């Protein structure tokens, strides 16, 4: 694509001297798992997120599973999350042994709807996984008042605050993915959990490393560690993350203005606290629009084309077509436009003009 949906190369080029220097140090030390690079990254990421601790792990899916397991979730429990998210949110819940159930979304923001979630809570509901979808903080304060422990899935929301406060101020666990295309991405898989309590951090550190102290396993753990090489890239990228998030905000603001009154398009409502992981709009005749944009060399994405309760893998939720109408409708209409920190404004103008031309020609 001439204007791809995501392009990581400029970020790599901009930070190359820094990550090369960190890699040189790593190769000289030759300690590739659980070493000083990871410890430094955990401290720097915790500081950036406004948390007391960050615990690295293998990916954002494992981060959800580890958080839920630490919260005591297991077989026989139910965990509630949004019907509009990456399948991995639900995969992480299922891996903790729980039955996953899905709540509908607010049709304006596409975040999980607190009233819908409240109506699905039963005595088996042990936890809520609240996703900050597309980079926009969901109303986590409302969710925490529903009762069950709240795990915040911030895989798309590195650097986001809610009502001016760090995400860890609102619930005990905040999970992150460092999948390469995220606002803060590794060059491979990676994840982390931020927490404010030292004892939780210590338990998570034990669990991610096989439950071991030395060569003896004390608790039932998993093998899910964030490796030293990824931490070299993550440390270099983290230094630029505030700048990159600001660039995303400028491009998203431009799309808002350019497409606000475009026929056939409905914008998704965002607050100023979003870190704009994706620019998602709702489009009439989406498939035709996508094809028209592709014909002009413009890449787009679908986040997400099938609501989670209709994914065959999650049929055990027991929720049928028609049960979560706002998420089902959104899944038919959402379209993600190109958004990455170094996207030239001239290219964003081209994208917006192409969308407009499709509906007004």
Ligand X SMILES: Cc1ncc(COP(=O)(O)O)c(C=O)c1O
Cβ 186 to ligand X shortest distance, Å:
9
Least distance in angstroms from the C-beta of 30 to ligand X: 26
Residue 185 Cα distances to 147, 209, 224, 244, angstroms: 33, 22, 17, 12
Whichever of 273 and 350 has its CB closer to ligand X, that residue is 273
| Interaction site with ligand X (CB under 6 A) | 59-61, 85-86, 88-89, 131, 153, 155-156, 177, 179, 189, 191
Taking phi over 0 as left and psi of -120 to 50 as alpha, with beta for the rest, 352 belongs to alpha
Nearer to ligand X, 59 or 259 (CB): 59
* Distance, CA of 334 to CA of 72 (rounded, Å): 35
**What minimum distance in Å lies between the beta carbon of 231 and ligand X?**
15
The nearest distance, CB 357 to ligand X, in angstroms, is 31
Give the nearest distance from C-beta 177 to ligand X in angstroms. 3
176 vs 358 by CB, closer to ligand X = 176
Name the nearest CA neighbour of 154 among 180, 126, 183, 127. 183
Q: Residue 175 or residue 319: which is nearer to ligand X going by CB?
A: 175
**Closer of 327 and 354 to ligand X (Cβ):** 327
- Rounded Cα–Cα distance for residues 101 and 83 (Å): 8
DSSP state for residue 311 in the 8-state scheme: S
Contact 259, 355 (CB under 8 A): yes
Residue with tokens 């004892």: 199
173-177/191-195 β-pairing = antiparallel
Q: Which residue sits closest to ligand X, CB atoms considered?
A: 60
CB of 91 to ligand X, least distance (A): 8
Shorter beta-carbon distance to ligand X: residue 112 or 337? 112
Question: Of the two residues 186 and 298, which places its CB atom closer to ligand X in the complex?
Answer: 186
CB atoms closer than 10 angstroms to residue 99: 18
* Phi-psi domain of 296 (left: phi exceeds 0; alpha: psi -120 through 50; beta: other): alpha
Question: Do 143 and 151 contact (CB within 8 A), yes or no?
Answer: no
> Minimum distance between the CB of residue 60 and ligand X, rounded to whole angstroms?
3
């Amino acid at each position: 694509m001439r204007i791809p949906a995501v392009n990581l190369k400029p970020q790599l080029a901009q930070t190359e001297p820094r990550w090369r220097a960190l890699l040189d140090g790593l190769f000289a030390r030759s300690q590739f798992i659980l070493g000083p690079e990871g410890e430094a990254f955990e401290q720097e990421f915790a500081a950036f997120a406004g948390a007391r601790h960050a615990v690295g792990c293998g990916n954002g899916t494992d981060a959800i599973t580890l958080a839920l397991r630490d919260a005591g979730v297991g077989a026989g429990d139910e965990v509630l999350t949004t019907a509009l998210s990456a399948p991995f949110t639900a995969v992480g819940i299922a891996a903790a042994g729980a039955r996953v159930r899905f709540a509908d979304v607010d049709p304006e923001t596409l975040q999980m709807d607190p009233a819908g979630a409240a109506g699905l809570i039963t005595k088996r509901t042990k936890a809520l996984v609240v996703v900050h979808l597309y980079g926009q903080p969901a109303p986590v304060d409302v969710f925490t008042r529903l009762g069950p422990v709240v795990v915040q899935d911030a895989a798309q929301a590195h650097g986001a605050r809610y009502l001016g406060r760090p995400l860890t101020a609102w619930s005990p666990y905040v999970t992150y993915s460092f999948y390469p295309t995220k606002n803060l991405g590794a060059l491979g898989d990676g994840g982390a959990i931020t927490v404010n309590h030292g004892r939780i951090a210590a338990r998570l550190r034990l669990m991610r490393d096989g439950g071991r102290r030395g060569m003896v396993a004390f608790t039932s753990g998993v093998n899910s560690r964030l490796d030293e090489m990824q931490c070299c890239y993550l440390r270099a990228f983290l230094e630029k993350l505030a700048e990159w998030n600001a660039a995303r905000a400028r491009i998203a603001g431009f799309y808002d203005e350019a497409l606000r009154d475009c026929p056939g398009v409905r914008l998704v409502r965002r607050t100023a606290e979003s870190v704009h992981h994706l620019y998602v709009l709702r489009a009439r005749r989406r498939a035709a629009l996508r094809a028209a944009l592709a014909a002009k060399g413009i890449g787009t994405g679908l986040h997400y084309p099938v609501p989670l309760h209709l994914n065959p893998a999650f049929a055990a939720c027991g929720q049928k077509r028609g049960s979560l109408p706002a998420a089902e409708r959104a899944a038919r209409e959402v379209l993600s436009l190109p958004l990455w920190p170094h996207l030239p404004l001239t290219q964003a103008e081209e994208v917006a003009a192409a969308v407009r031309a499709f509906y007004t020609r």
